Amino acid sequence: MTLTPAPEPVVPRPGSAAPPAADGPPAPECPQGPDSGPGPDADAGPLLPRAVCEAALTALLLFLIVTAVRWLVGPDPGSAAARPAVLGCVVGTLLALLMLSPPGRCSGGHLNPAVTLALWRLRAFPGREVVPYAVAQLAGSVSGVWCAGLVWGPAAGRPPVRHASVRADPAWGDAAVLAAEAGVLAGSTLMLAVLLASPGGRRVLPYAVGLTTALVIGVLGPLSGGSANPARQFGPALLAGDTGRLWVYVLGPAVGAVLGAWCAGRTGLCRPSSR
């Protein structure tokens, strides 16, 4: 799971403030905050460089996830109890670092199609850029997993690693996994709305994202799989030939993103200024 603000000037980088507009109507008060840039259709710079950054960051994230799973699971299959907690800490730390990196600041560091969808529904990201970002993220997922396979050889594709493809507990049916994936993204979208509403919240957002990701993987990893990110499962599932439940891991977060944004509006977390 990846939850990050949109690129500047749509959402300022953590710890920075966008300059006030010279004229024109005020921006929405939430989630962008009173000192953020123009609305979701504002020009945030050329799309292609930002989409390339999203693809590269997602590829790096998936490469490192496969690497972590390769060394956590491969050498000692008997140490299953500690894996979700350790993997959660690793992925949460990586996520925060990638968000704070220069490419992450360039693109907004979404790394998750559901997060991009949520930011659009929260009116913090241009709707016309949702599909290009999602395509870049999914392509980055496949390329990152493929590169990990080249580096680590057959061990990356064999059980129990399986290209780091997540699997739910056999007792969890499709509906339960779908509900868990949607619930995580709905709650995360509400967190996005709250943190993006103030400069202080934006400053701590990368760290909140990392902590949330670690908790989701640690708690839900052994149960639902704890993906909460279509890009997290897309590449691993394709290369592992484990696509039976891929639709659940794609649809669930998307539904949760839309539901969370709707709840943010209904509960007053998003109150657009009069135009």
What is the pLDDT averaged over residues 43-60? 91
Query: Residue 79: which pLDDT band, with cuts at 50, 70 and 90?
Result: low
Q: Quickly list H helices, 153-274.
A: 174-195, 199-220, 230-240, 246-266
> pTM above 0.95?
no
Q: Are 164 and 227 in contact (CB under 8 A)?
A: no
Mind listing the pLDDT tens digit for each residue in 168-218? 999 999 999 999 999 999 999 999 999 999 999 999 999 999 999 999 999
Residue 18: φ, ψ to 5°: -80, 145
Helix or strand or coil: residue 4?
A: coil
Q: Which residues make Cβ contacts (< 8 Å) with residue 130, sequence separation at least 6? A: 116, 117, 120
